[in-house]
């Protein structure tokens, strides 16, 4: 019996070594697979059994090796750190990109920015004051006023377009969020079923881990591992995924920036409309914050894009009111009282509805006297508006400064959160990724163990052959 027992011991060693080689091969094959976590075969020795009785030969040696399973060498704490940092990086990444695009729209400082156009506008008024009645200086003024108005219109429209693009992007993000949640629910069901039947779930756990990181990057939330092998994901304190069920969400709100105040953009549960989900991070939270309505006034605390649009409106309104107030007190070269220089179209945002009223030299009220055609004092007064404490220039400077500070803050936060995210991913990879040098050593170890077990089996086989077929032949 002991000889046959040795044969079985060698066989278990062969099985364990072969299983170890299979696992090494799986690791090497998935070296470059995103989200793959290295695996190890887990084994334990089979102890000997003490026999008693007349035929007992005392203690017996162990009965070989048992393959207990294939362990996935992940770390739930490192995985949690990756998800937390991904949520912050997602939020600030969206914020930083949007603010950088907003700064590009401003084109400040630079010759194409509103500051430069304003300086040209005031300089054109000064030329009219110095050369009243000359068609050339008046033509330059009207042309520059048209450029200034076009610049205001363009800036406002680009902010509006950026808002619309982000609104559409919000729908895409929510669709990706629902897709990832649906896949996790399906994986939960498969993992629970496989564990019940004793199957391996390592690869499914890897896929689920990648998907939970995707959800964290999109919507933050909390992920909890449950005792039955499934994962529960909470956003806003409620379950997005629980077991094999998931509750879809949707983005609601208008698709035009003008509708933001009355129909704000939010994330809601499809089964419970009307209640906004409070997000604690992720790209969707960043977009929702950017698309929020303006809080009122310049430098408000509302959504960055709506606040920028309101800033354009405030600038256009101040420019028109300041210039019109002085222009209306003057007279044209025909002695006609001056009217509005800038018009604001009712029913439109100021930045979109602002226009230039005068069309020719005869429409410009540059003089303070109805009888003196060579008096340019009104034109000079308009040129001096740039020096007032509450001038359009001062307002625009504060607008640009505020957006610049917000953009700088978002960029710094994005940089820091990306560093934290990279560090978390690095720590996760250092613990769970495949090391080819280590796998090669393991492969040689299992290969030699397999060869040794085969030699043991060969030796036992030869012993059995001698015992069964050659006993009694010695000496004949």
Examine the domain organization and report whether 42 and 96 are in the same domain: no
Examine the domain organization and report whether 170 and 114 are in the same domain: yes
Looking at residue 300, its pLDDT comes to 65
Examine the domain organization and report whether 142 and 264 are in the same domain: yes
Where are the strands (E) in 277-413, listed by range? 342-344, 354-356
CA distance 270 to 289: 21
Residue 30 lies in a domain: yes
Residue 356 lies in a domain: no
Handedness of CA 21, 25, 28, 33 (dihedral sign): negative
Examine the domain organization and report whether 171 and 36 are in the same domain: no
91 lies in which domain range? 79-305+394-427
Looking at residue 473, its pLDDT comes to 61
Long-range contacts of 43-48 (CB under 8 A, 24+ apart): 43/16, 43/67, 43/68, 44/68, 46/12
Residue 360 lies in a domain: no
Residues 6 or more apart whose Cβ sits within 8 Å of residue 429: none
Q: What is the pTM of this model?
A: 0.85
Examine the domain organization and report whether 35 and 110 are in the same domain: no
Helical pair 283-290 and 202-219, crossing angle rounded to 10 deg: 10
Which segments in the chain show pLDDT lower than 50? 1, 298
Residue 104 lies in a domain: yes
Contact 156, 349 (CB under 8 A): yes
- Cα–Cα–Cα angle for 18, 22, 28, nearest 5°? 140
Looking at residue 54, its pLDDT comes to 53
Examine the domain organization and report whether 231 and 199 are in the same domain: yes
Residues 6 or more apart whose Cβ sits within 8 Å of residue 110: 116
Examine the domain organization and report whether 49 and 84 are in the same domain: no
User: DSSP alpha helices (H): ranges in 107-221?
Assistant: 114-130, 135-196, 202-219
CA distance 409 to 301: 15
Question: HSE of 211 in the Cβ direction (CA atoms, 13 Å)?
Answer: 24
Residues 6 or more apart whose Cβ sits within 8 Å of residue 141: 121, 124, 125, 127, 128, 364
Looking at residue 298, its pLDDT comes to 47
Chain centre distance of CA 377? 56
Examine the domain organization and report whether 237 and 300 are in the same domain: yes
Examine the domain organization and report whether 60 and 97 are in the same domain: no
Residue 240 lies in a domain: yes
Residue 40 lies in a domain: yes
Where are the strands (E) in 17-126, listed by range? 39-46, 64-72
Examine the domain organization and report whether 423 and 439 are in the same domain: no
- Cα–Cα–Cα angle for 421, 425, 427, nearest 5°? 115
Residue 319 lies in a domain: no
Q: How many domains does the chain have?
A: 2
Residue 251 bridge partners (DSSP): 267
16: closest CA among 56, 43, 45?
43
Q: How far is CA 245 from CA 176, 184, 188, 204, 436, in A?
A: 17, 9, 9, 17, 39
Contact 286, 95 (CB under 8 A): yes
94: closest CA among 84, 86, 104?
86
Q: What is the DSSP letter of 57?
A: -
Examine the domain organization and report whether 93 and 218 are in the same domain: yes
397: closest CA among 302, 289, 279, 311?
311
Examine the domain organization and report whether 52 and 179 are in the same domain: no
Residue 27 lies in a domain: yes
In this predicted model, what pLDDT tens digit does every residue of 182-226 receive, in sequence order? 999 999 999 999 988 888 899 999 999 999 999 999 999 899 998
Looking at residue 464, its pLDDT comes to 81
State how beta strands 39-46 and 238-242 pair.
unpaired
Q: What stretch of H or E contains 272?
A: strand 272-276
């Amino acid at each position: 019996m002991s000889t046959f027992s040795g044969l079985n011991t060698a066989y278990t060693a062969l099985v364990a070594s072969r299983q170890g080689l299979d696992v090494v091969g799986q690791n090497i094959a998935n070296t470059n697979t995103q989200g793959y976590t290295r695996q190890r075969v887990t084994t334990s020795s089979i102890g000997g059994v003490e026999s008693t009785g007349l035929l007992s030969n005392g203690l017996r040696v162990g009965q070989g090796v048992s393959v207990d399973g294939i362990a996935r060498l992940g770390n739930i704490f490192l995985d949690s750190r990756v998800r937390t940092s991904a949520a912050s990086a997602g939020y600030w990444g969206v914020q930083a990109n949007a603010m950088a695009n907003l700064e590009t729209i401003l084109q400040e400082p630079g010759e194409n920015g509103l500051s430069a156009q304003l300086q040209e506008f005031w300089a054109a008024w000064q030329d009219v004051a110095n050369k009243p009645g000359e068609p050339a200086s008046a033509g330059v003024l009207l042309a520059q006023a048209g450029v200034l108005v076009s610049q205001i219109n363009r800036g406002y429209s680009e902010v509006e377009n950026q808002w619309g693009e982000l609104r559409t992007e919000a729908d895409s993000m929510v669709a990706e969020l629902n897709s990832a949640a649906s896949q996790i629910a399906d994986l939960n069901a498969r993992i629970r079923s496989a564990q019940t039947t004793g199957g391996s779930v390592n690869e499914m756990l890897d896929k689920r881990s990648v998907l939970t990181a995707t959800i964290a990057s999109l919507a933050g939330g909390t992920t909890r591992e449950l005792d039955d092998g499934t994962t529960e994901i909470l956003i806003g304190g409620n379950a997005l995924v629980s077991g094999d069920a998931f509750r879809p969400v949707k983005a609601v709100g208008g698709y035009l920036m003008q509708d933001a105040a009355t129909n704000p953009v939010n994330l809601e549960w499809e089964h419970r409309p009307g209640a906004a989900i409070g997000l604690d991070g992720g790209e969707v939270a960043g977009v929702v914050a950017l698309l929020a309505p303006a809080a009122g006034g310049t430098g408000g605390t509302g959504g960055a894009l709506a606040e920028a649009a309101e800033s354009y409106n405030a600038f256009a309104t101040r420019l028109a009111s300041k210039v019109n107030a002085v222009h209306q007190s003057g007279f044209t070269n025909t002695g006609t009282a001056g009217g509005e220089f800038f018009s604001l179209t009712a029913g439109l945002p100021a930045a979109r509805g602002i226009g230039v009223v005068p069309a020719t030299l005869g429409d410009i009220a540059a003089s303070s006297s109805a009888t003196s055609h060579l008096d340019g004092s009104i034109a000079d007064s308009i040129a001096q508006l740039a020096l007032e404490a509450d001038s359009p220039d001062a307002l625009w400077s504060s607008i640009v400064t505020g957006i610049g500070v917000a953009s700088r803050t978002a960029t710094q936060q994005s940089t820091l959160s990306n560093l934290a995210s990279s560090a978390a991913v690095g720590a996760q990879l250092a613990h769970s990724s495949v090391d080819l040098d280590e796998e090669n050593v393991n492969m040689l170890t299992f290969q030699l163990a397999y060869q040794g077990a085969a030699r043991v089996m060969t030796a036992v086989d030869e012993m059995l052959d001698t015992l069964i077929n050659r006993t009694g032949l010695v000496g004949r």
